[in-house]
Amino acid sequence: MPPSSTPDPEPTETIGTLGEFALIGRVTAGRTQPATTLLGPGDDAAVVASPDGRVVATTDVLVEGVHFRFDWSAPEQIGRKAAAANLADVAAMGAAPTALLVALACPPSTPVSTLSQLTDGLWAEATTAGAGVVGGDVASSPTMTIAITALGDLRGRAPVTRSGARPGDVLAVCGRLGWSAAGLAVLARGFRSPAVVVGAHRVPEPPYAAGPQAAEAGATAMIDVSDGLLADLGHVATASGVLIDVRTSVLSVPPRLVDVGAALGIDPLHWLLTGGEDHALAATFPGQPPSGWMVLGEVAEGDPGVLVDGRPYTEGAPGWTHFSQQ
């Protein structure tokens, strides 16, 4: 048989063939760090400035098949989403994000291009929030797992916790609600459009600056809406010992979500109330919230809990709960 005129394809470079340290060098070379990074990747540990003298720290783990799927999202989008989930928690404390530490476990057969794109997303989202990627680790695993630790600086302010809401406070929200849940519903049905809705699930847009803004304005409690508005407000209600009432009359369902809900036979209001992963911020204030925040309800005395228009929510689960929804 004569030789084929078509050349063999170039073999895919994998993590196994490149090696741990060469991979780290490749994904960190040429990156720009913010002024808070005093010593970045390449040593035993990083050094990050903390002018306030206190460090806000949070960590999160994302597992392939549970938190992300490569058939639904590009590696760069997964990287951005992984970073956003942690950076939003820093903002929810009223702090400014400063740094990310990333630990990655993956199969040796993982293409280097996949990891390069994923880290591009991590760096891009960190830059958007004003933070740097200052270090991490790489290990072999049969399942890809991304563990991220985010650090932040309070800039002289007290942290805004979940336990400070008081009767008479107003409840307000900054950021999108329901978009990610709608995008997930579209993907779960095997569709890839509308692109703007699916894109909201692939890459959230947390209002990072709104966290420090709320702290400066005197927010009494705050939380990142990651598991669903009602579920996360339940954490605030329990920690603060208060009753929170959400008014749906002020919730305007975006037209695109109305269209998607009609196509899928789902009430889009349910996405706004219980959908997570948009990473909006919900906070309570003793008076009117600052510009960009939407008043959504009020805090009252009573047994800790969350009401919707004065009644318990009975249209389904209030949000995502790990281990009970597998």
Q: Does 89 belong to an annotated binding site? A: yes
The highest-level CATH class for domain 15-153 is alpha beta
Residue 244 has pLDDT above 80, yes or no: yes
Tell me: is residue 278 an annotated ligand-binding position. Answer: no
224 assigned to a ligand binding site = yes
> Residue 141's pLDDT band (boundaries 50, 70, 90)?
very high
Residue 71 annotated as part of some ligand binding site = no
Cβ–Cβ < 8 Å for 205, 175: yes
Q: Under a CB-based contact definition with an 8 Å cutoff, are residues 120 and 58 in contact?
A: no
- As a whole number of Å, the end-to-end CA separation of the chain is 53
Ligand-binding site membership of 293 (annotated)? no
Q: For the domain 170-308, what is the CATH code?
A: 3.90.650.10
On whether 169 is known to bind a ligand per the annotation, the reply is no
Is residue 232 part of an annotated ligand binding site?
no
Helix, coil or strand: residue 236: helix
Q: What is the per-residue pLDDT for 275? A: 95
The domains of the chain are located at: 15-153, 170-308
- Say whether pLDDT at 112 is over 60: yes
- Report whether 136 belongs to an annotated binding site: yes
> Which pLDDT tens digit goes with each residue over 261-298?
999 999 999 999 999 999 999 999 999 999 999 999 99
Dihedral angle sign, alpha carbons of residues 325, 84, 95, 39 = positive
Predicted pLDDT at 321 = 54
List residues bridging with 61 in a β-sheet.
Answer: 147
| Whole-number average pLDDT of the chain | 92
Cα separation, 67 vs 61, whole angstroms:
9
Same fold, 15-153 and 170-308: no
Assess whether pLDDT exceeds 90 at residue 325: no
- Read off the pLDDT band of 302 (50, 70, 90): very high
- Residue 259 assigned as binding residue: no
Residue 10 has pLDDT above 70, yes or no: no
Cβ proximity of 283 and 230 under 8 Å: no
Q: Is residue 20 a known part of a binding site?
A: no
pLDDT confidence band for 326 (50 / 70 / 90) = very low
Is 201 annotated as belonging to a binding site?
Answer: no
Does the pTM surpass 0.75? The reply is: yes
Residue 23 in this model has a pLDDT that exceeds 90: no
DSSP 68-114: B-TTTS-HHHHHHHHHHHHHHHHHHTT-EEEEEEEEEEE-TTSBHHH
261 is in an annotated binding site: no
Predicted confidence at residue 17, as pLDDT, reads: 80
DSSP string covering 255-298, please?
HHHHHHHHHHT--HHHHHHH--SS-EEEEEESSPPPTT-EEEEE
CA distance 321 to 305: 17
Task: Tell me the HSE value of 93 on the side-chain side, using a 13 A CA sphere.
Answer: 22
